[in-house]
Amino acid sequence: MAVEPQLGTEIQYVKGVGPKNAMLLSKLGVQTAEDLLWYLPFRYEDRSEIPPIMHLRPGRHNTALGKLTEVRTRPLRGGKVLLEATLSDRTGELVIQWFNQPWLGRQLEPLRGTEIVAYGLVREGYRSRLEMAATEWEAIEDGDTEEFARIVPVYPLTEGVSQRVVRRAARAVAEGLALQVSDPLPKWVRQRERLPELGPSLRQLHLPDSEEQRILARQRLAFEEFLYLQIALQLRRREVKQEVGISFPISRIGELEQPVTTLFGQDQETPAASFWQEVLQMLPFQPTRAQERVVHEVWADMERPAPMNRLVQGDVGSGKTAVAACAMLAAVRCGYQAALMAPTEILAEQHAFNIKRLFEPKGIGVVLLAGKLGAKEKRRATTQAANGEAQVCVGTHALIQEGIQFANLGLAVIDEQHRFGVLQRMALRNKGRTPDVLVMTATPIPRTVTMTMYGDLDLSVIDELPPGRKPIKTHWKRPGERAQTYEVVRRLVAEGRQAYFVCPMIVENEKMQAQAAQDLHLRLSQQVFPDLRVGLIHGQLKTVEKEQVMEDFRAHKLDILVATVVIEVGVDVPNASIMVIEDANRFGLAQLHQLRGRVGRGSTQSYCVLIAEAKSEESRRRLEILVETSDGFRIAEEDLKIRGPGDIMGTQQHGSLDLRIADLIEDAHLLERARQAAIDLLERDPELNDPDNREVLKRVRQRRSDEALITVS
């Protein structure tokens, strides 16, 4: 082809690619030159330095260059083969080893006497000879090397496609075409943020001149990615604010009663002050300042005509349920129904129990809607939700099933929202006509994730625990130290406390999980604590059975409760002051933190014992973090580092956080900048009509379908 290649040129016509490689590249989804430009390396190997062999350092990845002086194969046990090649330069000798790749010998043999270059882990072998476990090598032709003596990109591959093919093609495209790529970002943004242009950045990512330039190029792309996401979220937020929802007349509730003073001070009467008085009388405790602030934020939002879309974040035990109760009471007082959806039956039952206790004395009808209710009960609850007799409906996913209708749902509260998929949240919202939505999460989501995932939500944070809480003391014990742990449990029970035993996590299925719990229960009740009252709860029990067990535990008819992770979220028995978690290694960090939050809810000292072997450095680090801190935010960040955001947010939301380049932890500073840039950009050009912003708009639109999924509305 004599034609000068363009970005849209089919990849096979790019210099040095050809039909055969084009076919391989198509396996990676690469059809055109431009596709390949965007097919980015996922890491780099700095092979720019080639030290003399004598200077190679065991324990490091190094590049070595020398004359191939010897090639030999040795049979090993089990029919395997070790291939060794000796490389030498003026300073010394190096033996490169490959296991079980006999065909390599046939490639190396003819190169004997010529120079080759290899990259791999250097180690000290028998009689301190220098060895290298080689991953890659290349013959030097005309004194030139393609894959060495530079920072080499490493691309994600699929079967049958080699690094070499991709590198060579990517190099051709990056050298020849990258600079033709036009930059979608308005100039002022680029200048203000000191970002390099897109074309040169892409070139740097494939052919880095230096580590600094590569990093800068990557930041440029990450910033851009965040920017589109943030613009999409800002637009969405604006749309929601323009929608017309319910304006709850909260300040007029109890208007006739005496005006009262609150924590806000005497002269600064808040609109909902008299209603706040009612709340104070209803709650069995004095709300914390944080709770009071958040309740007022929620109420103020409910008063506004735009539908509320608010995330309440608060660490385990910070008292989110009370905040939800205040919001629901407001909705009911204004003549609407409220629904509270929880992720597990146990939690829904517990909420129903607590809310009934608060609301029924006021004559407010509360029903429970859960999957495993008897047919008759379910029918009654369904009818009451539909005719409005049930002013508050508490439930699980059962709430969003097709047959369920509400007379006039005004407020939807979703507890432990990270447990729900986006669609489930939307489904609950759609049970009413633009009801207000309040989502609550105990998982402390790192701020960067919040900004990315929930940039369109308003955020309220309960940043204070109820007074008198003593921090939970967490200990890590090896399996060999169980007896000692049992003694502590026994002592606490003798003092009138209660204990949880959480059995090992088994992900395979719920049946096996239940079996593990039964085994643990048997061992504890028969052998270890035959004299104590040991109960058992797991996901395979019927609702009524679970309810009964929880009720017995709450009423202190049980000393010890053996449980699966069903108790992970929300369960609240303040007298329980020790939790023993078996095989703690199998749980995620955030999950352990959640579990641990089941104790330390009263005013006595509580304990959490993690029983685990430290199998790896990583698991040791995870356990130590838990022992060290009870700061949920720190734990969440560590967890994010270890597992990545997809896992934290739950797989259903993973797809929506489609970040190809940016990293939520590493690039947190960029995210903040991108958010500000998004706000400024929209301020200058609210509809993105300016020709300068046309490309930005186009790319934001491409994101819109994803973005629609990450809002609660």
Angle (CA) 288 291 293, round 5°: 110
Residue 166 interacts, among ligand ADP, Mg ion, none and using kind-specific CB cut-offs from 5 to 8 Å, with: none
CB of 565 vs Mg ion, minimal distance in Å: 15
Cα distance between residue 191 and residue 209, in whole Å: 22
CB of 570 vs ligand ADP, minimal distance in Å: 6
Q: Rule CB under 6 A: choose which of 322, 422, 670, 688 binds ligand ADP.
A: 322
CB of 593 vs ligand ADP, minimal distance in Å: 11
Comparison of 218 and 320: residue with beta carbon closer to ligand ADP? 320
CB of 462 vs ligand ADP, minimal distance in Å: 7
Q: Is 140 helix (H, G, I), strand (E, B) or coil?
A: coil
Q: Is residue 410 within the footprint of ligand ADP (CB under 6 A)?
A: no
Q: Is 611 helix (H, G, I), strand (E, B) or coil?
A: strand
Size of the site for Mg ion (CB under 5 A): 2
Q: Is residue 632 within the footprint of ligand ADP (CB under 6 A)?
A: no
List of long-range contacts for 510-513, beta carbons under 8 Å, 24+ apart: 510/538, 510/539, 510/540, 511/540, 513/538, 513/539, 513/564, 513/565
Q: How many CB atoms lie within 10 A of CB 512?
A: 11
Ranges assigned E (strand) in 421-506: 436-441, 458-462, 473-477, 498-502
Backbone angles phi and psi of 480, in degrees to 5: -65, -15
110 to 149: interface string for ligand ADP, x by CB under 6 A = ----------------------------------------
Comparison of 320 and 378: residue with beta carbon closer to ligand ADP? 320
| Chain residues 284-323 in contact with Mg ion, contact rule CB under 5 A | 320
Q: Is residue 320 within the footprint of ligand ADP (CB under 6 A)?
A: yes
Q: Rule CB under 6 A: choose which of 570, 600, 632, 645 binds ligand ADP.
A: 570
Q: Is residue 466 within the footprint of ligand ADP (CB under 6 A)?
A: yes
Give the closest residue to 375 by CA, choosing from 364, 385, 383, 365: 383
The amino acid that residue 149 corresponds to is: A
Q: Rule CB under 6 A: choose which of 224, 547, 559, 572 binds ligand ADP.
A: 572
CB of 324 vs Mg ion, minimal distance in Å: 8
CB of 346 vs Mg ion, minimal distance in Å: 12
For Mg ion, the nearest residue by Cβ is 570
Comparison of 92 and 574: residue with beta carbon closer to ligand ADP? 574
Comparison of 208 and 287: residue with beta carbon closer to ligand ADP? 287
CB of 400 vs ligand ADP, minimal distance in Å: 21
The amino acid that residue 86 corresponds to is: T
Residue 203 interacts, among Mg ion, ligand ADP, none and using kind-specific CB cut-offs from 5 to 8 Å, with: none
Q: Is residue 295 within the footprint of ligand ADP (CB under 6 A)?
A: no
Q: Rule CB under 6 A: choose which of 41, 186, 319, 432 binds ligand ADP.
A: 319
Comparison of 208 and 600: residue with beta carbon closer to ligand ADP? 600
Measured over the CA atoms of residue 62, residue 67, residue 69 and residue 72, the dihedral's sign is positive
CB of 410 vs ligand ADP, minimal distance in Å: 22
Element (H, E) at 86: strand 81-88
Bridge partners for 576 per DSSP: 498
Bridge partners for 502 per DSSP: 563, 581
Residues 6+ apart with CB under 8 A from 30: 11, 36, 39
Q: Rule CB under 6 A: choose which of 145, 270, 291, 309 binds ligand ADP.
A: 291
CB of 322 vs Mg ion, minimal distance in Å: 10
Ranges assigned E (strand) in 576-621: 576-581, 607-611
Comparison of 572 and 582: residue with beta carbon closer to ligand ADP? 572
Residue 318 interacts, among ligand ADP, Mg ion, none and using kind-specific CB cut-offs from 5 to 8 Å, with: ligand ADP
For ligand ADP, the nearest residue by Cβ is 319
Q: Rule CB under 6 A: choose which of 5, 184, 287, 395 binds ligand ADP.
A: 287
Residue 574 interacts, among Mg ion, ligand ADP, none and using kind-specific CB cut-offs from 5 to 8 Å, with: ligand ADP
Give the closest residue to 525 by CA, choosing from 489, 578, 476, 555: 489
Q: Rule CB under 5 A: choose which of 66, 432, 570, 600 binds Mg ion.
A: 570
Measured over the CA atoms of residue 9, residue 13, residue 16 and residue 19, the dihedral's sign is positive
How far, CA to CA in Å, does 49 sit from each of 53, 85, 203, 209, 397? Answer: 12, 21, 21, 13, 59
Residue 303, Ramachandran bin (φ over 0: left; ψ between -120 and 50: alpha; else beta):
alpha
Residue 316 interacts, among ligand ADP, Mg ion, none and using kind-specific CB cut-offs from 5 to 8 Å, with: ligand ADP
Residues 6+ apart with CB under 8 A from 255: 274
Measured over the CA atoms of residue 170, residue 175, residue 177 and residue 181, the dihedral's sign is positive
Q: What is the DSSP letter of 144?
A: B
Q: Is residue 600 within the footprint of ligand ADP (CB under 6 A)?
A: no
Q: Is residue 632 within the footprint of Mg ion (CB under 5 A)?
A: no
Give the closest residue to 432 by CA, choosing from 418, 413, 415, 417: 413
Residue 285 interacts, among Mg ion, ligand ADP, none and using kind-specific CB cut-offs from 5 to 8 Å, with: ligand ADP
Comparison of 366 and 506: residue with beta carbon closer to ligand ADP? 366
Q: Is residue 314 within the footprint of ligand ADP (CB under 6 A)?
A: yes
Residues 6+ apart with CB under 8 A from 402: none
Residues 6+ apart with CB under 8 A from 429: 412, 435, 437, 712, 713
Residues 6+ apart with CB under 8 A from 77: none
Task: Give helix then strand counts, H and E, for the chain.
Answer: 24, 20
Q: Is residue 214 within the footprint of ligand ADP (CB under 6 A)?
A: no
Segment near ligand ADP (CB under 6 A), from 269-277, 285-293, 521-529, 553-561? 285-293
Cα distance between residue 289 and residue 263, in whole Å: 8
CB of 461 vs ligand ADP, minimal distance in Å: 12
Segment near ligand ADP (CB under 6 A), from 29-37, 204-212, 570-578, 680-688? 570-578
CB of 320 vs Mg ion, minimal distance in Å: 5
Comparison of 274 and 321: residue with beta carbon closer to ligand ADP? 321
CB of 568 vs ligand ADP, minimal distance in Å: 11
Q: Is residue 427 within the footprint of ligand ADP (CB under 6 A)?
A: no
320 to 339: interface string for Mg ion, x by CB under 5 A = x-------------------
Return the structure tokens found at 500: 């949880």
Q: Is residue 293 within the footprint of ligand ADP (CB under 6 A)?
A: no
Comparison of 219 and 291: residue with beta carbon closer to ligand ADP? 291
Q: Is residue 321 within the footprint of ligand ADP (CB under 6 A)?
A: yes
How are beta strands 309-314 and 337-341 bridged, if at all?
unpaired
Size of the site for ligand ADP (CB under 6 A): 19
How far, CA to CA in Å, does 448 sit from each of 445, 637, 671, 674? Answer: 8, 10, 7, 12
Cα distance between residue 645 and residue 447, in whole Å: 12
**Binding interface with Mg ion (CB under 5 A):** 320, 570
**Binding interface with ligand ADP (CB under 6 A):** 285-288, 291, 314, 316-322, 442, 466, 570, 572, 574, 601
